Amino acid sequence: EIKFAPSGDAAAEEALPPISPADRARALAESLPNIAALTGRTVVIKYGGAAMVTSPERTIRDVAALHALGLRPVLVHGGGPEINSWLAKVGIEPKFVNGLRVTDAATMEVVAMVLMGKVNKKIVATMGAAGVGAVGLSGVDGGLLQAVKVENEALGFVGEVVGVDETALEAALDAGLVPIVATVAADDDGNFLNINADTAAAAIAGALDADEFILMTDVPGLLRDVKDPGSLIREVDEEAAGKLIQDGVVAGGMVPKVTCCLSALHAGVSATHIIDGRRPHSLLEELFGPADAKQGTTIFRDATDSDSDADLD
């Protein structure tokens, strides 16, 4: 049986250092200013990859905590590991071109079933078990994501977002629910399209005028030296982030992720974050922790929100 949550998740929790009641109380008290500042704010979180494999239930509980603390979280998810598992189960070999999944008709059927069905509803159920109401949506529902096929025909049923109708999301948020969005859309002819979760989440964040956009990844954030975790760039404005790409400091698979962040900023999002989804409670740590102790990279909309130079750890 293919399971959504790996059995190692509980073990990972047990491996964390014990926290005394006094330390818990102090951490809560120290977080209160940040909690108060974020109450009522809309936060769009892209969830997938490392976070989905390493600690799925923990991450979902952290999103539930955001809701309980008065934030308005929207969770946009992929499901690559689950898709690959089910493709193997039906005898289809996954193929990729420049990091994008080749999605022929048979693969698209599996993608739609896994993302819109198994993964999406499991997240909704886990959120409910944490005491928070959630509603499962996809890019198809209410025309949430308008998309067209990418020009590269070799990719098959892969789409790019050309518009967002946030009506269903706003209705869910206003009803006190957490929207859980699977990144499958449909074209004008009703064909399902597989959408990159990073770009879909960035588009949704922009459409909602979100206060925060968070990409959960398998790296600590932006590093000046990919071999040195100590070279973490904690804060950078969008102009400096673009220069990091031009200078080759940001390269490879991080380029599209930073580009997504810049796209969200250009659409009106106040701040974006790239965090390590493998790190326990990295989501809460990034939003509520003290500025000098955050473990991800924050990219601000302009230089007035942060120093124009990268702040190195």
Per residue in 78-137, pLDDT (tens digit) is 998 899 999 999 999 998 887 778 999 999 999 999 999 999 999 999 999 999 999 999
Query: Hey, how many other C-beta atoms are within 10 angstroms of the C-beta on 184?
Result: 26
Q: Do domains 55-65+75-194 and 211-313 have the same CATH topology?
A: yes
pLDDT score of 12: 47
Q: What residues does each domain of the chain span?
A: 55-65+75-194, 211-313
What is the pLDDT, as a whole number, of residue 306? 44
Task: Give the relative orientation of helices 197-207 and 254-266 as an angle to the nearest 10 degrees.
Answer: 10
Which pLDDT score, from 0 to 100, does residue 24 have?
62
103, β-bridge pairs:
156
CATH for the stretch 211-313 = 3.40.1160.10
Q: How much of the chain is in helix, strand and coil states, percent to nearest 5?
A: 45, 25, 30
Edge-to-edge strands, sheet with 271-276: 134-138, 178-182, 72-77, 42-47, 212-217, 271-276, 297-300, 233-237, 311-312
- What letter would DSSP give residue 220? S
Task: Give, for all 313 residues of the chain, the pLDDT tens digit.
Answer: 323 333 334 444 445 667 777 766 676 777 777 777 789 999 999 998 777 887 788 899 999 999 999 999 999 999 988 999 999 999 999 988 877 789 999 999 999 999 999 999 999 999 999 999 999 999 999 999 999 999 999 999 999 999 999 999 999 999 999 999 999 999 999 999 999 999 999 999 999 999 999 999 988 899 998 888 889 999 999 999 999 999 999 988 899 999 999 999 999 999 999 999 988 889 999 998 877 777 899 999 875 544 444 444 4
Q: Which residues of 90-112 are buried (b: 16+ CB within 10 A; e: fewer)?
A: eebeeeeeeebbbbeeebbebbb
The pLDDT value given to residue 229: 83
Determine how β-strand 192-195 pairs with β-strand 184-186: antiparallel
Which of 245, 146, 228, 142 lies closest to 187 in space, CA to CA? 146
Q: Which amino acid is at 65?
A: A
Q: From the CB of residue 306, how many other CB atoms can be counted at a distance below 10 Å?
A: 20
CATH for 55-65+75-194 (1.10.3470.10, 3.40.1160.10, 3.30.2270.10, 3.40.50.300):
3.40.1160.10
